[in-house]
């Protein structure tokens, strides 16, 4: 049995399918799905080619495609190098085709992509960027959510309005609680420091901080997280709670306004 990559993690999804988190740089992960039945691999986001190519050589899988959740450089930076090295296809949002060079498949809401026999449905979840997408598998209880949600956090809103980002996050939050959220960055400790600064006496945040500190001390990623866990400790998903609203001076305001205030506070923290 293969061991997890150094500093990363290996999650067995089925008897023949696993997800490997490959650390890249200070806080990025490349997310590699390996299908032992077909020997095919699918990469979700491509910050750098080296760790991906090394893991493919080690595992003996063939990279069939890179699925880009959005156009930022730390998510598409290895596209050209990986295609040159492996001949893989490049997939990404149709809305971002002008910003992700060389897309072979332009994806829209409701499209389906396959790794072997395992289908993933494409969701359009704008907010962090206008063309952000997720790949969701009900079969595997797995969602590749890019930078839309993190452990105890969410991505900055670079494009669009707060209500758009809030709606995208609420859509993810409505997935079954056991659904694993495979996001792209190891921001958990920093996100919790910020959240604890706002709500130092919150028991869910205190418990999450213990969990994160233990994982990082052991050299393990804190990801994937789950929808259920994020509903407990992610303040951006708890914007309807009176205590969270009060913490950012929005008592009695609609949740979307609380969410916007939380995002603004985090942006300047």
Straight-line distance from the first to the last Cα atom of the chain, in angstroms, rounded to the nearest whole number: 43
Catalytic residue among 61, 71, 72, 118: 72
Is 35 one of the annotated active-site residues of the chain?
no
What is the rounded CA–CA span in Å between residue 235 and residue 223? 18
Partners of 112 in the beta sheet? 121
Is 74 one of the annotated active-site residues of the chain?
yes
Catalytic residue among 61, 185, 202, 233: 185
Q: Are strands 62-67 and 89-93 parallel, antiparallel or unpaired?
A: parallel
3-class DSSP state of 58? helix
Catalytic residue among 74, 96, 111, 202: 74
What is the rounded CA–CA span in Å between residue 223 and residue 213? 13
81: left (phi over 0), alpha (psi -120 to 50) or beta: alpha
Measured from the Cβ of residue 125, the count of other Cβ atoms closer than 10 Å reads 28
What is the rounded CA–CA span in Å between residue 8 and residue 235? 26
Is 45 one of the annotated active-site residues of the chain?
no
Catalytic residue among 35, 45, 147, 202: 147
Calculate Rg over the CA atoms of the chain. Answer: 18
Is 233 one of the annotated active-site residues of the chain?
no
Catalytic residue among 128, 132, 202, 233: 128
Catalytic residue among 35, 61, 70, 202: 70
| Cα angle, residue 245 at apex, residues 243 and 246 outer, rounded to 5° | 65
Catalytic residue among 61, 75, 118, 233: 75
Q: Which two tokens stand for residue 216?
A: 């990082």
Is 111 one of the annotated active-site residues of the chain?
no
219: left (phi over 0), alpha (psi -120 to 50) or beta: left
Q: Which residues are catalytic?
A: 70, 72, 74-75, 128, 147, 185
């Amino acid at each position: 049995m293969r061991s997890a990559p150094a500093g990363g993690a290996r999650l067995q999804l089925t008897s023949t399918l696993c997800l490997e988190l490959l650390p890249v740089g200070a806080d990025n992960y490349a997310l590699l799905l390996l299908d032992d039945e077909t020997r095919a691999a699918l990469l979700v986001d491509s910050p750098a080619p080296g760790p991906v190519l090394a893991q493919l050589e080690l595992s003996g899988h063939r990279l069939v495609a890179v699925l880009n959740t959005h156009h930022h450089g730390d998510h598409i930076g290895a596209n050209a190098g990986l295609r040159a090295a492996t001949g893989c296809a490049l997939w990404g949002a149709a809305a971002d085709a002008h910003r992700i060079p060389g897309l072979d498949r332009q994806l829209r809401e409701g499209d389906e992509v396959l790794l072997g026999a395992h289908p993933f449905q494409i969701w359009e979840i704008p907010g962090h960027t206008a063309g952000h997408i997720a790949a969701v598998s009900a079969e595997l209880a797995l969602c590749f959510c890019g930078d839309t949600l993190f452990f105890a956090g969410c991505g900055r809103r670079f494009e669009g309005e707060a209500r758009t980002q809030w709606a995208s996050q609420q859509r993810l939050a409505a997935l079954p609680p056991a659904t694993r959220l495979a996001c792209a960055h190891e921001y958990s400790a920093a996100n919790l420091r910020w959240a604890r600064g706002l709500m130092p006496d919150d028991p869910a945040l205190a418990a999450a901080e213990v969990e994160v500190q233990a994982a990082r001390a052991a050299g393990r990623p804190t990801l994937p997280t789950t929808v259920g866990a994020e509903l407990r400790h992610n303040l951006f998903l708890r914007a309807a709670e009176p205590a969270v609203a009060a913490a950012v001076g929005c008592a009695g305001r609609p949740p979307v306004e609380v969410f916007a205030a939380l995002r603004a506070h985090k942006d300047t923290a």
